C-alpha cells in the first residue's frame, strides 16, 4: 500500500534570563541565553574573524526577524549554510564535520531560535519563521546566494527557503527529513515515542532516535562524544514543545514543485523517525533531485555514514 498519495494522517545550558524586547512597536517575551562569544580579531571588512592555520572563524549574533540569532562562520569561499534539527544547536556538529564541510568554502552554522545561544521566544512559531531567520542572517552577512544543507527539522527549514526564496539557493541538500510528518503513516515506534511524556531534554533518548543499537555497540565513542556536545546547551521545555509543534504542522507537499535548485536527498533505510517513504516522496516531487539511501543507517545517517555521506555532498556541491 502506498501512503504518499497526498492524503494526510493524524500524528499523535546556559543560564536563562527573561528580557523584554520592543521591536516594531511589539512587545515580545523572549528567553535569552547568555551572550554567545563575540570573537573579532584582525582587520577584515564586514566579516571580522579569527584566522588559525589559514582558516577564518567567527562566532557572533545578529538581530533578525525579531530575534537574536547566534551563528558561526568557518572558512572562506562560496557559502554553505548548515541547519540542524529539532532541539539541537550548532554544537552538535562534530568538529570533523565542520572541518570537512568548510573545506574550500565558507561554512555558516546557526542556532535556530529556541536553541543554543539564540533567543528563545515563548510564543508559537513555525518552520516559515525559522526560514525567515536564515534569510535574515544571509542579508546581514551580505550573502546573495548559498548552498543550503538541512538535517531533519533543518531539512524542513531548507525546503521552505528553497520554495519561498528560490533565488537565494544554489544547491539544496536534504538529510533525514520530510515534506510533512502527516504524509506517511508513522511507524509504531514513532507513535510510542510521540505519546511519551518528556519533561526535560534527554541526550540518551535522543541517541535512540538517531542511531541503531548495532551502530552504538560497535562505535561507542561516537554517541559518547555526541552526548557531551548535547549537554553543553540543552533546550528548555518551552522551546522543545514549540519545535515539536512546528514539526507537526509543517507541510510542503503541494509546494515541492516550486523547488528549482538541484537537490541531493540523503536518507537512512532504518530511519524510524521519518521512514524511507518520506525521502521517496521528496525525490518524486522535486524535479531536479537525486536520492541516496543508506541501507544500514537510521535518522542519524549523516554521522553514522559520515565518510560516504560527505563524499556524496562533496561531489554534489562540486
**Using an 8 Å Cβ cutoff, are 163 and 258 in contact?**
yes
Grouping H, G, I as helix, E, B as strand and the rest as coil, residue 52 is: strand
Q: How far is CA 55 from the centre of its chain?
A: 23
The domain tally of the chain equals: 1
What's the pLDDT score for residue 26? Answer: 33
Considering the domain boundaries, does residue 230 fall inside one? yes
**Does pLDDT of 17 surpass 50?**
no
Residue 195: pLDDT over 90: no
Q: How many CA atoms are closer than 13 Å to the CA of 66, on its beta-carbon side?
A: 21
Residue 2 lies in a domain: no
Beta-strand pair 146-151/169-175 = parallel
CATH (domain of 231): 3.40.50.1820
Q: Look at residue 222 and tell me if it is in a domain.
A: yes
Candidate from 13-17, 68-72, 223-227, 280-284 with smallest mean pLDDT: 13-17
Higher pLDDT, 154 or 56: 154
Structural domain including 268 reads 16-317
**Within a domain: residue 228?**
yes
On the question of pLDDT at 16 being above 80, the answer is no
State the cell numbers at 154.
533543518
pLDDT in tens, 199-256: 566 877 788 889 988 899 999 999 899 999 988 899 899 999 999 999 999 999 999 9
Rounded to the nearest 10 degrees, how much is the dihedral formed by the CA atoms of 81, 82, 85, 87?
-90
CA geometry: angle at 246 spanning 216 and 277, to 5°?
55
Give the model's pLDDT for residue 212.
85
Res. 135: pLDDT tops 90: yes
Residue 6 covered by a domain: no
pLDDT number for residue 142: 97
CA 89/CA 94 separation, integer angstroms: 11
What is the per-residue pLDDT across 90-123, written as a single tens digit (0 to 9) for each? 999 988 999 999 999 999 999 999 999 999 999 9
Q: Is residue 308 part of a domain?
A: yes
The Cβ of residue 7 has, within 10 Å, a number of other Cβ atoms equal to: 10
Q: HEC states along 82-96?
A: EECCCCCCHHHCCHH
Residue 127 φ/ψ, nearest 5 degrees = -60, -40
Separation of alpha carbons 148 and 172, rounded Å: 5
H/E stretch holding 212: none
Residues 6+ apart with CB under 8 A from 163: 252, 255, 256, 258, 259
Residue corresponding to grid cell 571580522 = 48
Place 132 in a pLDDT band, splitting at 50, 70 and 90.
very high
Residue 281 inside a domain? The answer is yes
Q: Identify the pLDDT of residue 308.
A: 97
Phi then psi dihedrals of residue 279, to 5 deg: -65, -40
Does residue 3 form part of some domain? no
Q: What are the phi and psi torsion angles at 289 (to 5°)?
A: -130, 155
3-state DSSP of 133-150: HHHHHHHHCCCCCEEEEE
What confidence tier does 191 reach under pLDDT thresholds 50, 70, 90? confident
Residues of the chain with pLDDT > 70: what percent? 80
CB atoms within 10 A of CB 13: 15
- What percent of the chain is modeled with pLDDT above 90? 68
CA distance 207 to 226: 8
Q: Is the pTM of this model over 0.75?
A: yes
Amino acid at each position: 500500500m502506498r501512503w504518499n498519495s497526498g492524503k494526510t494522517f493524524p500524528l499523535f545550558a546556559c543560564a536563562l534570563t527573561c528580557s523584554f524586547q520592543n521591536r516594531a512597536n511589539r512587545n515580545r517575551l523572549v528567553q535569552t541565553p547568555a551572550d554567545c562569544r563575540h570573537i573579532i580579531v584582525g582587520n577584515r571588512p564586514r566579516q571580522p574573524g579569527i584566522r588559525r592555520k589559514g582558516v577564518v572563524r567567527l562566532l557572533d549574533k545578529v538581530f533578525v526577524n525579531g530575534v537574536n540569532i547566534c551563528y558561526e562562520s568557518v572558512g572562506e569561499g562560496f557559502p554553505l549554510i548548515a541547519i540542524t534539527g529539532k532541539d539541537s544547536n550548532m554544537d552538535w556538529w562534530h568538529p570533523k564535520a565542520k572541518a570537512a564541510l568548510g573545506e574550500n568554502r565558507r561554512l555558516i552554522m546557526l542556532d535556530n531560535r529556541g536553541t543554543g545561544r539564540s533567543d528563545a521566544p515563548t510564543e508559537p512559531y513555525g518552520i516559515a519563521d525559522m526560514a525567515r531567520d536564515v534569510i535574515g542572517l544571509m542579508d546581514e552577512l551580505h550573502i546573495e546566494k548559498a548552498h543550503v544543507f538541512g538535517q531533519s527539522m533543518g531539512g524542513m527549514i531548507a525546503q521552505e527557503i528553497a520554495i519561498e526564496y528560490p533565488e537565494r539557493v544554489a544547491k539544496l541538500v536534504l538529510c533525514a527529513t520530510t515534506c510533512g510528518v502527516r504524509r506517511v503513516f508513522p511507524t509504531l515506534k514513532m507513535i510510542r515515542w510521540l505519546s511519551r511524556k518528556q519533561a526535560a531534554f534527554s541526550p540518551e533518548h535522543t541517541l535512540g532516535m538517531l542511531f541503531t543499537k548495532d551502530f552504538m555497540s560497535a562505535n561507542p565513542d561516537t554517541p559518547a562524544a555526541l552526548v557531551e556536545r548535547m549537554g553543553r546547551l540543552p533546550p528548555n521545555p518551552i522551546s522543545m514543545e514549540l519545535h515539536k509543534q512546528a514539526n507537526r504542522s509543517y507541510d510542503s507537499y503541494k509546494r515541492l514543485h516550486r523547488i528549482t535548485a538541484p537537490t541531493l536527498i540523503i536518507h537512512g533505510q532504518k530511519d524510524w523517525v521519518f521512514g524511507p517513504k518520506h525521502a521517496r516522496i521528496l525525490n518524486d516531487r522535486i524535479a531536479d533531485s537525486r536520492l541516496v539511501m543508506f541501507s544500514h543507517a537510521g535518522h542519524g545517517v549523516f554521522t553514522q555514514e559520515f565518510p560516504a555521506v560527505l563524499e556524496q555532498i562533496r561531489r554534489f556541491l562540486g
